[in-house]
A = this chain, B = another copy of it.
Amino acid sequence: MRRLSLNQRTTASWSVPEAVDGCVRAGVEAIGLWREPVAEHGLRRTAKLVRDAGLRVSSLCRGGFLTAPGALGDNRRAIDEAAALGTDCLVMVVGGLPPGSKDLAGARTAVADAIAELAPCAGERGVRLALEPMHPVYCADRGVLSTLEQALDLAERFPVSQVGVVVDTFHLWWDPQVWQQIARAGARIASYQVSDWITPLPADVLLGRGMMGDGHIDFAAFTAAVNAAGYTGDIEVEIFNADVWNTPPDQVLTTVKDRYRRLIHTPRESNAQTP
Contact = CB atoms under 8 A, between A and B. Distances in A.
Assembly stoichiometry (copies): 2
A155 to B, nearest CB: 14
The 7 closest A-B pairs by CB, nearest first: A203-B203, A139-B174, A136-B174, A102-B218, A140-B216, A137-B137, A150-B176
A275 to B, nearest CB: 12
Contacts of A149: 176
A137 B201 contact: yes
B216 A102 contact: yes
Nearest to A219: B102
A137 B175 CA distance: 11
Given A176-B150, A203-B203, A104 B218 contact: yes
Contacts of A102: 216-218
Tell me the dominant secondary structure on chain A's binding face. loop
B104 A140 contact: no
Contacts of A218: 102-104
A97 interface: yes
Interface residues of A, number: 29
A227 interface: no
Interface in A201-250: 201, 203, 205, 215-218
Given A104-B174, A137-B137, A147-B176, 11 more contacts: A102-B217, A102-B218, A103-B218, A104-B173, A104-B216, A137-B205, A139-B197, A140-B174, A140-B199, A146-B175, A205-B205
A146 B197 CA distance: 15
B175 A140 contact: no
Interface string A85-124: 0000000000001000011100010000000000000000
Nearest to A176: B150
A36 interface: no
A66 to B, nearest CB: 17
Contact of A135 (B137, B203, B216): B137
A108 B137 CA distance: 21
A123 to B, nearest CB: 26
A141 interface: yes
A133 to B, nearest CB: 10
Nearest to A143: B174
A164 B200 CA distance: 30
Contacts of A199: 140-141
20 contacts: A97-B216, A102-B216, A102-B217, A102-B218, A104-B174, A104-B216, A104-B218, A135-B136, A136-B174, A136-B175, A137-B205, A139-B174, A140-B215, A146-B174, A146-B175, A146-B176, A147-B176, A149-B176, A150-B176, A200-B205
